[in-house]
A and B are shown apart, each in its own frame.
Chain A
Amino acid sequence: MAEAEPITPSAVATETDNATLHRYGAPSDPPLLIIYSLVNRPAILDLSPERSVIARLVAGGFCVYLLAWHPPGAARRYLGLADYVLGDVNDAVDWVADQHALRPHLLGVCQGGVLALCQTAVHPARVRSLTTLATPIATDSADDALARLARGIDFDALVAATGNVTGEGLATVFASLKPFALGPRRYDGLAALADADAAARDAFLRMERWMYDGPDLAGRAFAEFAREIYQNNALIRDTLSLDGQPVRLAAIDTPVFNAWAEDDHLVPPAAARALAARLGGECVEQGLPGGHLGLFIGGRAHKALYPALIDWLRSH
């Protein structure tokens, strides 16, 4: 299955050890660095011209950088969270800051929000602001399906057996949470799509590719994330450390914008909302009706959330 082609024009800015840094927009604009999740591909942020988060941020006056992760091969199965945060994210922040002679705004998406939080907690002075979208912070709420499923699993044993974790396997796990919505209900209108215009068919297929074309995950990083975030609730309990450096949310005195979807079955509102109370500085919050993906491709998000976010970013 071919990867979805980006909509917004971009140029490769640089490479980090495990990612490519793409640049969108004018280099003269203030920089905003997006840290995407290690799960799935960032195409969801630029899926169609009308609903492109990247295009909207560029139009909002920012030079957007996207850190797009390389799928790890077998030789990189031991990459851990510390490698991604203290290595790639840190390198990207430094590179962008050097190029613009300005500290960048940091924007983390879903799991990428956790990576961005870790980076900001370890080096709070290096970013201008932090935005987290649908980011799991507290995983002890009763409606956190992923955390409940993860509770009894020995993830270290799992990755010892599998090496890296396949994208197909993860897509199956996510689909198994909502098999009817993502199965018969989703494909119910497939026949009608044959009569739809080319743009609608293209949008459907782009989404289809995005959903089931996730990259593999480095085994160690997957196990660390599942164990620390989902089993140990480590961000809330202040027990997470990267290469011996403690990750304390209270150390983040950078301004934070935190948004979540009210009907998100992957990152329930309680998981994302817990951030504000733990931070050491200002935090603007916004919950939006809809599900997980609605936060990126939903009409309401593009009408209300992103204009508000752009205003907020401009003010910092």
Chain B
Amino acid sequence: MVSDGAKRQDGTDQGDWTAWLGAFSSQADPLGVQALLIRSADALAQARTPAEALRALADAIAAERDHRQHQGEQLDALLEQWSATLQAIAPAFPDHRPADTPSLGPYPRRQDQLRALTEQVDVYQAALADHLHGVTDLAETCLDDLRAELDAPDAPPFDPGTLAERWAAIAEPRYEAWLARPDTERRIAALVNAWSALLTTLRALADDCLEGLGLPSARGMDDLAAELQRQRRRQRRETAALRAEIAALRHELHGDGESAR
């Protein structure tokens, strides 16, 4: 600023603007606006001509930009260190995702199962909560609409039978519209899929326990069922081939009549 030595109304000299702005200094200056103002005031205080003032101002802005960039680089480095520290201490927290840490030591399959179980329980609970939230919203909407109907000035007195009928009449179309909504379908699918994953892991753990005790397991039954199925299919194919052969022979003997099939 070009200083003419004039006094301001509040008694401060314009040459003291730097000091005056400094009185407002604070640690909270995330955009660097205040620092830029102080740096600019300081530069302008030294200027004697308008051209000198402009040059000084441009230099002040460039200097503040450089300072900010340097600070930004320092901040990036600090944040990177902080992030690494957080990741290192994350396993100590209860909501840590076990899959973030590799299995170490013996029984890696069991470790994987137990990790999967904790994650799948979380996913299932979240999916269930999500679905129940949707159901609750629907029920509240239906109740609000029923209440509005009951509170209407011209509403007839309701006996229990009529009340039940009105409830069904209000809730049924809203339920069917809700069921047809893509977000409802997505939530139901998420819940079923989460339940399937959880149940598969629970079954595997239960099977491990049973097999450890020398008892039959569902996994063992599945193996038998799969083997039976392979034999059944083989037999069916062989029977079909045999029938085709018989049909061909019949055709040769009788021609293509209805009885020959």
The answer to whether B232 and A154 have CB atoms under 8 Å apart is no
The residue of chain B having its C-beta at the shortest distance from the C-beta of A160 within the complex is: B200
The residue of chain A having its C-beta at the shortest distance from the C-beta of B230 within the complex is: A78
Contacts known (A75-B224, A76-B225, A161-B200); A154 close to B193, Cβ less than 8 A: yes
Selected contact of B185 from candidates A74, A86, A151, CB within 8 Å:
A151
Selected contact of A83 from candidates B176, B179, B226, B236, CB within 8 Å:
B236
Q: How far is the CA of A154 from the CA of B190 in the complex (A)?
A: 9
- Tell me if B259 counts as interface (CB < 8 A to partner A): yes
Selected contact of A162 from candidates B164, B197, B199, B261, CB within 8 Å:
B199
Q: How far is the CA of A84 from the CA of B155 in the complex (A)?
A: 58
How many residues of chain B get a CB closer than 8 Å to chain A's CBs? 39
The answer to whether A152 and B258 have CB atoms under 8 Å apart is no
- Chain A residues whose CB sits within 8 angstroms of the CB of B222 once the complex forms: 77, 163
- Tell me if A17 counts as interface (CB < 8 A to partner B): yes
Q: How far is the CA of A112 from the CA of B218 in the complex (A)?
A: 30
- Chain B residues whose CB sits within 8 angstroms of the CB of A79 once the complex forms: 229
- Chain B residues whose CB sits within 8 angstroms of the CB of A103 once the complex forms: 258, 261
Highest count of chain A CB atoms <10 Å: which of B164, B190, B229: B229
Q: How far is the CB of A166 from the nearest CB of chain B, in Å?
A: 13
Closest 7 interchain pairs by CB? A152-B189, A161-B199, A78-B229, A180-B172, A157-B196, A101-B259, A161-B196
Pull 6 A–B residue pairs with CB atoms less than 8 Å apart, ordered by A.
A78-B226, A78-B229, A97-B261, A148-B185, A152-B185, A243-B237
Q: Give 13 A-B pairs besides A101-B258, A178-B176, A184-B164 with Cβ atoms closer than 8 angstroms.
A: A17-B236, A83-B232, A87-B236, A149-B189, A152-B188, A153-B193, A154-B192, A154-B196, A157-B196, A161-B203, A163-B218, A180-B175, A185-B168
Residues of chain A touching chain B, judged by Cβ–Cβ distance below 8 Å, are: 17, 74-79, 82-83, 86-87, 90, 94, 97-98, 101-103, 126, 145, 148-149, 151-154, 157-158, 160-163, 176-181, 184-185, 188, 243
Residues of chain B touching chain A, judged by Cβ–Cβ distance below 8 Å, are: 164-165, 168, 171-172, 175-176, 179-180, 185-186, 188-190, 192-193, 195-197, 199-200, 203, 218, 221-222, 224-226, 228-229, 232-233, 236-237, 240, 243, 258-259, 261
